[in-house]
């Protein structure tokens, strides 16, 4: 999981890079977390009473989500700066403010 600001920084570094840099360059967060880890953090930081439900994985589901960003580090001097928990907290706050502002807007229309 990679925070959007980090990905945008990576894209900008890639666009500003020398024309001699060719081929695929992976952008992402190489720190691996499971979906269960993410679900537990979401429940924790939203004070949710949600229950985690386990389902069978699709047959083509990747067993590992850990991009090799060594080329991005070496050629672009890029790596993500925002860890999962910080990014998740920022995302939760963003959606809370969005809901709050939307609710206020909807009340004003009545």
Name the residue among 107, 63, 86, 81 with its Cα closest to residue 6: 81
Q: Work out the widest C-alpha separation in the chain, in whole angstroms.
A: 58
pLDDT digit string (tens) for 9-48?
999 999 998 888 888 999 999 999 988 999 999 999 999 9
Domain that holds residue 46: 4-109
Q: Kindly report the CATH number assigned to the domain that includes residue 46.
A: 3.40.50.720
Q: pLDDT averaged over the chain?
A: 90
Euclidean distance between CA atoms 20 and 34, whole angstroms:
36
Looking at the structure of the chain, the number of domains it has is 1
Position 108 pLDDT exceeds 80: no
- The reported pLDDT for the residue numbered 100 is 82
Confidence of residue 99 (pLDDT cuts 50, 70, 90): confident
Percentage with pLDDT > 70 across the chain: 93
């Amino acid at each position: 999981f990679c925070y959007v600001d980090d990905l945008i920084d990576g894209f900008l570094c890639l666009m500003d890079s020398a024309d001699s840099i060719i081929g695929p360059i992976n952008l992402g967060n190489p720190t691996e977390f499971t979906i269960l880890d993410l679900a537990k953090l979401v429940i924790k930081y939203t004070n949710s009473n949600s229950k985690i439900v386990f389902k069978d994985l699709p047959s083509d589901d990747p067993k590992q989500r850990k991009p090799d960003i060594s080329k991005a580090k070496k050629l672009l001097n890029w790596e993500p700066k925002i860890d999962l928990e910080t990014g998740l907290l920022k995302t939760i706050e963003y959606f809370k403010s969005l809901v709050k502002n939307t609710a206020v807007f909807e009340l004003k229309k009545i």
